[in-house]
């Protein structure tokens, strides 16, 4: 090989090499934190079958570079989620799936109180340039019609006011199907969790897309 050919090949190789810092943004692993309550925690399911595990698996199967971290606590109201927000959602987080409010309905917390806490959580996350997917929940059966309507309006109203992605009811895939719930309970079983993942997947991909276009 002549000197001229060697220089040409070396130059081509140098042109195609990029240092790690120059990698395309879509190659970066996106960290999603699930901040939720009993609907998302899956503490009663084996590791690998919980919502965060199954969502990460499904997203990777779609070619997404992502890690999904479970920061859900089964008995958390929105206020309790707010109280632990900065501990549960560290600074290296790119996106949050916010699933709180179902326990508030179970405990018959006033919708205005729940709304205040959820609004504070969203404001905190947006200030940190963390993308948000807000999830509502089907009204609990212990609520009267007025409170059922108030909670439904609260979730959608928050999403509109703060311009965040919205999934109207995290539990819509299993709430009316006893075979997809834990026996005698309102929480999803393993099959119910898979059903949630299948339905929420497009919103999760939209969340990742938003996160990739944000600069921390």
Residue-wise pLDDT for 93-137, tens only, equals 999 999 999 999 999 899 999 999 999 999 999 999 999 999 999
At 25 the pLDDT is 46
pLDDT-derived band at 1, boundaries 50, 70, 90: low
What is the pLDDT of the chain when averaged over all its residues? Answer: 88
First-to-last CA distance in the chain? 48
CA separation for the pair 25, 214 (Å, rounded): 10
163: phi then psi, degrees, rounded to nearest 5: 55, 55
Residue-wise pLDDT for 145-172, tens only, equals 888 899 989 999 999 999 999 999 999 9
pLDDT-derived band at 141, boundaries 50, 70, 90: confident
Specify the higher pLDDT residue, 206 or 5: 206
At 215 the pLDDT is 57
> Residue 101 in contact with residue 155, Cβ under 8 Å?
yes
> Residue 181 in contact with residue 189, Cβ under 8 Å?
yes
User: Tell me, what DSSP letter sits at residue 152?
Assistant: H
Q: Is 163 exposed, middle or buried (0-12, 13-18, 19+ CB in 10 A)?
A: exposed
CA separation for the pair 161, 169 (Å, rounded): 18
Residue-wise pLDDT for 175-208, tens only, equals 999 999 998 889 999 999 999 999 999 999 999 9
Alpha helices in 62-189 (DSSP H): 78-83, 85-88, 102-106, 111-127, 145-162
Helix/strand/coil percent split, the chain, to 5: 50, 10, 35
71: phi then psi, degrees, rounded to nearest 5: -125, 40
Percent of the chain whose predicted confidence (pLDDT) is above 90: 77
Residue-wise pLDDT for 8-33, tens only, equals 444 444 433 434 333 444 479 999 99
Residue 64 scores a pLDDT above 80: yes
At 21 the pLDDT is 37
Any idea which fold 27-212 has? Rossmann fold (3.40.50)
pLDDT-derived band at 144, boundaries 50, 70, 90: confident
């Amino acid at each position: 090989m002549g000197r001229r050919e060697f220089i040409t090949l070396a130059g081509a190789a140098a042109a195609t090499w990029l240092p790690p810092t120059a990698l395309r943004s879509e190659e970066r692993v996106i960290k999603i934190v699930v901040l939720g309550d009993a609907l998302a925690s899956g503490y009663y399911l084996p590791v690998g079958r919980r919502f965060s595990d199954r969502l990460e698996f499904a997203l990777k199967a779609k070619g997404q570079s992502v890690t999904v971290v479970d920061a859900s606590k089964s008995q958390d109201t929105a206020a309790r989620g707010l109280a632990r927000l900065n501990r549960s959602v560290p600074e290296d987080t790119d996106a949050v799936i916010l699933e709180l409010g179902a326990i508030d309905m179970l405990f018959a917390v006033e919708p205005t109180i729940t709304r205040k806490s959820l609004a504070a959580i969203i404001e905190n996350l947006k200030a940190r340039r963390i993308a948000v997917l807000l999830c509502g929940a089907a009204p609990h059966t212990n609520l009267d019609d007025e409170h059922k309507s108030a909670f439904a309006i609260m979730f959608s109203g928050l999403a509109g006011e703060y311009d965040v992605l919205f999934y109207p009811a995290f539990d819509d895939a299993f709430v009316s199907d006893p075979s997809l719930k834990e026996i005698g309970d309102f929480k999803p079983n393993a099959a119910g969790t898979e059903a949630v993942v299948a339905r929420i997947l497009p919103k999760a991909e939209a969340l990742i897309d938003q996160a990739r276009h944000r600069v921390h």
